[in-house]
Structure 1
Amino acid sequence: MSPSLLLLNRGSGGNERGLEADEVCATVAAAFRETGRDIESKIVEPGKIDAVLREAVKAAPASVIVAGGDGTVSAAANHLGGTGIPLGIVPMGTFNLAARDLGVPLDITEAAAFLAKAEVHAIDVLDAAGHACLCTTILGFYPEFAKTFERRDHGGHWWKKTFKLITALPRTFRESRPIHLSWQGEGLDGRARTKFSAFVPGRYRATAGLVPARTDFTSGNLTAYIGRQRHATAAFRGMLDYIFGRQEENPELTMFQAPALELRAGRRQHLSVMIDGEILRLPLPLKLAILPKHLHVLTTAENLAPAP
């Protein structure tokens, strides 16, 4: 069997928090050797991850392990989806949403040991206008808000950024421009005035916590969460509902599932969209579609089990 390949993104936030690239590579290699598996390591400079991933697909390694944040993981999913080459994640970003969803420990040594023994499973991917989304696609005030503090606080701790979001929410929400969103899908046709909407492959677990967690990794559906709050106080209550795991009970939240959707925003021609932490300006209409079991990942069946 060909060896696995570890690609470490030197531009990830973890490097700025003191994680040494060479030490991370050595830790992962040692864990793989303990299970009798070979792995090669490559440290990738910022901006070159896509080119390196293209070469990796041509080489067809046993698996590709990426060490980086959610943007790096999303890039890997773009290239590895449909190839059958499994993707493993060493969490070195800020929020590490994809790693959390797949049950990968956030400690580097524990993550390496987990990946060395993990199984290969296929999961759905959300195609968002040609971009692979493993966690969430967000419209509204949050992409522009996140762009501001990411320029200033790249590589910071997730809880600090979450605290900044919560404290800045009233003013940011009040000043943001609403989207007159409309959607069409199989048997679906609706519209809403929204300042925050999220589209998730599978759905969010209705559990308490600051960081969202997903379930239903092979349902063949995305879940739309469209907030209809008009005032900052209502938006703050909506955030509290989410933190305490009762978002599905919020009367100002439109929630539905579909295998595919087409989104429009009135006369707007483009929208700022956050896809797994990466902020893009995309043309409208925005097409979202679930690609069933499109990506193979390293995890366990227990971590992918549907939430009750």
Structure 2
Amino acid sequence: MTATAAPHDATFFIALNAGSGHSETDERRSTIETVMRDAGRRFELTMIDQPDTIDEIATRLAKQAADSGGVLVAAGGDGTINAVARQAVAHGCKFGVLPQGTFNYFGRTHGIPEDLTEAVHALLASRVHAVQVGVINDRVFLVNASIGLYPNMLEAREADKQQFGRSRLVAVFSAFKTLLRPHRRLRLALNIDGKPRHLRTATFFVGNNRLQMEQIGIPPLSDALEDGRLAAVAPRTKGKFGMLWLMLHGALGRMGRLNQADELTTFSFKRVEVKVRSLSRRRQVKVATDGEITMMSNPLEIHVMDEQLLLLKPDPKPADVD
């Protein structure tokens, strides 16, 4: 799909995650409203004060955007962006992002500034680009989906952020702490684009974000995301110190320097079925999608969605164009 300009008279329906800080939220709201009004653009801003209201609010705003030819906008972290994007895809409306999370992989991948004032200005000047969406058991993901150790790390990270504050440093130390605890390796039966395969790993990670895959350090998988495929990574390392070493390289963007044949199983795909055989009688699997934890039925079906997300994002700068 060729990038197209959004109508100048389109209304922006903005869902702003209130987060944990009242004064910070007020400042964010004021920033968005000021830039929008100064630019003479029409908008409606709705606060998400309770996490359990996000789906209801996103659905209502998406319907309004679709009916009026407007733009649905998510202001928050990757989890908030995922929840609002689900409704943008379901209603076929245009979608914008104002990144406000810890890592902001989705926004950074698409050249959207992390500074809020700059992000609002960029949104107003953006054009519509079609963006690939991943699906796991009917739940969409824009950045990644995973099972095993990674969801446990995310749960621990969220608890530590509540206690010590939201920062990337807290996230890294929380991950190391989780890795030092006992964890079970998964026994997986895979069907990859019709081909069977078995795998034992501590975590099974599926990427749909070029920036994150580049930081992991596996360029061929990064390129696969531009070719309508998803990228799978599963560490083979058994010991705790081996996992720590693997994660350290990944955090520093140096995993590609490891001997991948020995340390990682990697492949790209359009569709994969993942059956977790190490769950005994349990039929539910803990799954992380863009940082949010849910329980899903086993086996898991993961594929690229036929529909694409109609994302408003800045055109690449001339220096960034290949």
Short-chain TM bin: 0.7 to 0.9
2:152 to 144, 154, 161: 144
Residue correspondence of structure 1 range 127-142 to structure 2 within 5 A = 127-142=135-150
Rounded to whole Å, the distance in 2 between the matches of 1:285 and 1:71 is: 23
Q: Report which stretch shifted further, 43-52 or 223-232.
A: 43-52
1:161-208 alpha-carbon deviations (Å, 9 max, x no partner): 113213x25412xx0011101211224321111102210125544348
Instruction: Report % sequence identity.
Output: 26
The within-5 A match list for 1:1-308 is 1-10=9-18, 12=19, 15-16=20-21, 18-21=23-26, 23-46=27-50, 47-60=52-65, 61=68, 62-154=70-162, 156-166=166-176, 168-172=177-181, 175-201=182-208, 203=210, 204-207=212-215, 218-248=226-256, 249-250=259-260, 251-266=262-277, 268=279, 269-292=283-306, 294-302=308-316
Asked if the contact 2:224–2:230 (Cα under 8 Å) also holds between the matched residues in 1, the reply is no
Q: How many residues align?
A: 297
Q: CA 1:57–1:243 in 2, change beyond 3 Å: closer, same or farther?
A: closer
Quick one: structure 1 residues 87 and 218, their matched pair in 2 at CA, closer, same or farther if it must change by over 3 Å?
farther
Supply the distance in 1 between the matched residues of 2:75 and 2:213 (Cα, whole angstroms): 26
**TM-superposition CA deviations, 1:91-130 (whole Å, max 9, x none):** 2233322222222222221222221212211101001111
Note if contact 1:202-1:219 (Cα within 8 Å) is conserved in structure 2.
Answer: no
Question: How many Å apart are 1:58 and its aligned residue?
Answer: 1.9
- Segments of 5+ residues of structure 1 without an aligned counterpart are none
In angstroms, what is the RMSD of aligned CA positions?
Answer: 2.8
Contact 1:273 1:281 in 2 (8 A): yes
1:36 Cα deviation from its structure 2 partner: 4.2
Shift of 1:218: 4.5
Alignment partner of 2:190: what SS? strand
How far apart, in 2, do the equivalents of 1:83 and 1:34 lie? Answer: 29
**What is the distance in 2 between the residues matched to 1:121 and 1:237?**
38
- For 2:293 and 2:299, the matched residues in 1 are separated by 17
CA shift in 2, pair 1:148/1:116, >3 Å: same
The one-letter code of the counterpart of 2:48 is: V
State the AA in 1 paired with 2:141. Answer: C
Q: CA deviation at 1:225?
A: 0.4
| C-alpha spacing 1:206/1:58, structure 2 compared with 1 (3 Å) | closer
Q: In 1, distance between residues paired with 2:141 and 2:232?
A: 14
CA distance in 2, matches of 1:282, 1:97: 24
State the TM-score, normalizing by the size of structure 2: 0.82
Q: Secondary structure of 1:81's match? A: helix
SS in 2 for 1:19: helix
What amino acid does structure 1 have at the position aligned with 2:249? Answer: D
**Distance of aligned partners of 1:236 and 1:243 in 2 relative to their CA distance in 1, 3 Å threshold:** same
Cα offsets for 1:145-169 (capped at 9, x unmatched): 3313423423611222113213x25
**Residues 290 and 145 (structure 1), Cα distance of their counterparts in 2 relative to 1, 3 Å cut:** same
Q: Are the structure 2 counterparts of residues 120 and 71 from structure 1 closer, same or farther at C-alpha, using a change threshold of 3 Å?
A: same
- Find the aligned partners of 1:18 and 1:161 in 2 and give their Cα distance: 23
The TM-score normalised by the length of structure 1 is 0.86
Which string of whole-angstrom CA distances, capped at 9 and with x for unpartnered residues, describes residues 51-103 of structure 1?
Answer: 11211222125211111222211111111115332222222233322222222
Would the aligned equivalents of 1:200 and 1:224 in 2 still touch at CA under 8 Å? yes
2-side partners of 1:128 and 1:307: how far apart? 32
* Contact 1:169 1:236 (C-alpha < 8 Å) held by counterparts: no
SS at match of 2:112: coil
- 1:171 maps to amino acid: L
Structure whose residues are more often helix by fraction:
2
Flag structure 2 segments of 5+ consecutive residues without an equivalent: 1-8
Q: Secondary structure at the match of 1:32?
A: helix
